[in-house]
Amino acid sequence: MEAFKYAIFSLELASLPEELRIVETVEKHFKRQTMAPDTLFQTAGSVDQAAAMIDEFKNKTCGSAYNVALLNLNLFASPEELSFLLGGQVLGDPRTVFMVTLRGIQGPTYAIAREKVEREADAIMQGTRHGAPSCVDSYTAQGRPESAQRIAEILNAFLEEEDQRMKNRQTGIVLPHALSKAHDLMRRTTTIFCGHRQHSKTGITARGFGEAGASSAQNRRISGRFGPVK
């Protein structure tokens, strides 16, 4: 593992048909962004591989969490595993870009992603969180090139905010929501949901909203695959 300042974790099921795959193209575009030289970009092809990758990352970074996550939720069959994966004890609840399509997303899985986005957006509006929230991007097979470029730019903007936040930590300066480049990129795209319901045009209904949380027994079963973020 080479030296890096920031890290992106991505997950895209290896079993996805070609027309639903997008993460590899996002990574190629991201490598041309300003934050790429200082950033580790890791991709898992299954939940089991994700578990091993996250554990290895934490072992080599003294328990540090990833700065940003990119998750392709198409054909992701277990909302319980997604909920646990996003939790503070695994990925550390980083800002996340969720990728979905009408063909491949399931309602309970989408509900978990939407809840995270809305929670972060509400915290920003209340002044307890700064910068841009996570987002859900609904893409099509035909529009993958444009979507991949856009997501690479949003990931880069997320990391630029992280970098600025670190620089401002000593002075107490915070990044105003209105000046967030990442949020501006999201709001200019009608296929992105970033917590403002009137701008959501994904066409996806969050069936089972509020019913996809994992039980304590399910969490114990799933957590055996992941080590906690220290």
pLDDT at 176 over 70: no
* Across 109-113, 126-130, 177-181, 222-226, least confident range: 222-226
Provide the whole-model pTM: 0.83
Percent of all residues in the chain with a pLDDT value above 70, rounded to a whole number: 80
What digits encode the pLDDT tens for the residues 23-72?
Answer: 999 999 999 999 999 999 999 999 999 999 999 999 999 989 999 999 99
Domain extents for the chain?
A: 6-223
DSSP one-letter string for 21-38? --HHHHHHHHTTSTTGGG
Helix axis angle, 79-86 to 216-223, nearest 10°: 70
pLDDT category, 182, cuts 50, 70, 90?
very high
pLDDT at 146 over 50: yes
* Across 81-85, 133-137, 192-196, least confident range: 192-196
Q: What is the model's pLDDT at position 226?
A: 53
Q: In the sheet where 6-11 sits, what is the strand order?
A: 39-44, 6-11, 68-72, 95-100, 135-138, 192-193
pLDDT at 174 over 90: no
Q: Looking at domain 6-223, what is its CATH homologous superfamily?
A: Response regulator (3.40.50.2300)
